[in-house]
Amino acid sequence: MKLVSVYHVDAFTNAPFAGNPAGVVPDAGTLTVPQMQRIANELNLPESAFLMESDRPDADFRIRYFTPATEIDFCGHATVGSTWLLATERGWLEKGRPIVFETNVGLIPVELDSVDGQLRNVTMTQIAPSVREIGVDPEEVARLVGIRAEDMDDRYPMKLASTGGVHLLVPVRTRDAIDRAVPLSSELAALNRKHGITTTHLFTWDAPAGYDLYTRDFAPAIGIPEDPVTGAANGALSGYLALEGMLAKGEVHQLVIGQGHAIGRPGTLHVTVETTGAHPVIRVGGAAHITIAGQLRLGAE
């Protein structure tokens, strides 16, 4: 019988049962891709991360991400959860340097912020953001995500944005409208597959006290009805705000984004958007909490 260490880490929170849960398998080098997919399906968390040695001298680990249904190229909250685990359980905090992950979209360095030897926050620098048009009727998107057409905020363009995965950004006028959203999952999944979209991400500036933006994320095309707190989608959103001129150029902007409140898993993301260079730099940070530690017992293949 093969034993595999596995962890359940709640990301973008410092408490259990909040934020976004990720499975983390820190010693995945001997696992096959089908085994990784079956483990992710068994854990049945939004995403699970599998860590192994990297062939690149400038990376500390190769990391692969799986939903219960499929492999995806990048996942923010599972990166935060993996970093937190390595720093607190595997001695990486004492190394005093960032951890660099090799992902399908490139290298992702993650900085460790500690106070008196205690980890407080981890912050990943995502790949350069991009935005592009999508030829879809906003009223149809409103119907698919389960809000009224008048709930759409026409002050902001609905676009596709990416810092790894592709996210459909849907501007909404109020937090209440976002909280009331009940998506038509099968139809939304079909739209997302047609356009190569990873998640559909609703956002509003009508945020709770202490937050700048409030968001909600649906990803039925990759097997996730709702992703509680999304590092990748909110990174893409932050890049969109910079590229579309909604954040002033030549400055460093600090955003606090809230997500997960609508489904009882509130989380907080701290995003730094640097617009001082030729291209915006997006850094997404947060805390995490290791909620479950155990072993999977794999039978013979």
Per-residue model confidence as pLDDT tens digits over 242-271: 999 999 999 999 999 999 999 999 999 999
From residue 97, alpha-carbon distances to 25, 101, 110, 122 in Å are 22, 13, 9, 11
Does the active-site annotation cover 47? yes
Q: For residue range 176-192, list pLDDT tens digits in order.
A: 999 999 999 999 999 99
Query: Which residue, chain included where needed, has tokens 């690149």?
Result: 56
- Band (301; pLDDT cuts 50, 70, 90): low
The segment(s) of the chain belonging to CATH 3.10.310.10 are: 2-108+289-298, 130-286
Q: Give the percent of the chain with pLDDT over 90.
A: 98
pLDDT of residue 202: 99
* The predicted structure's pLDDT at residue 65: 98
Write down the pLDDT at residue 1: 84
Average pLDDT of span 77-82: 98
Beta-carbon contacts of residue 48 (< 8 Å; ≥ 6 apart): 22, 23, 24, 25, 36, 39, 40, 65, 66, 67, 78
- Evaluate if residue 170 carries a pLDDT over 80: yes
Q: How far is CA 237 from CA 3, 53, 61, 68, 298, in A?
A: 39, 31, 27, 25, 39
User: What is the pLDDT, as a whole number, of residue 100?
Assistant: 98
Query: Which of these CATH numbers, 3.40.50.720, 2.30.40.10, 3.10.310.10, 3.40.190.10, describes 130-286?
Result: 3.10.310.10
Q: Work out the average pLDDT over 79-85.
A: 98
Q: What's the rounded mean pLDDT across residues 199-203? A: 98
pLDDT band at 72 (very low <50, low <70, confident <90, very high): very high
Residue 228: pLDDT above 70?
yes
Average pLDDT over residues 59-75: 98
Kindly name the residue from 42, 47, 244, 274 that is annotated as catalytic: 47
pLDDT at 299: 79
User: What is the mean pLDDT of the segment spanning 201-222?
Assistant: 98
For the domain 2-108+289-298, what is the CATH superfamily, name and number?
Answer: Diaminopimelate Epimerase; Chain A, domain 1 (3.10.310.10)
pLDDT tier, 14 (very low <50, low <70, confident <90, very high otherwise): very high
Average pLDDT value over all residues in the chain: 97
The pTM of the whole model exceeds 0.85: yes
Q: How far apart are CA 72 and CA 90, in angstroms?
A: 25
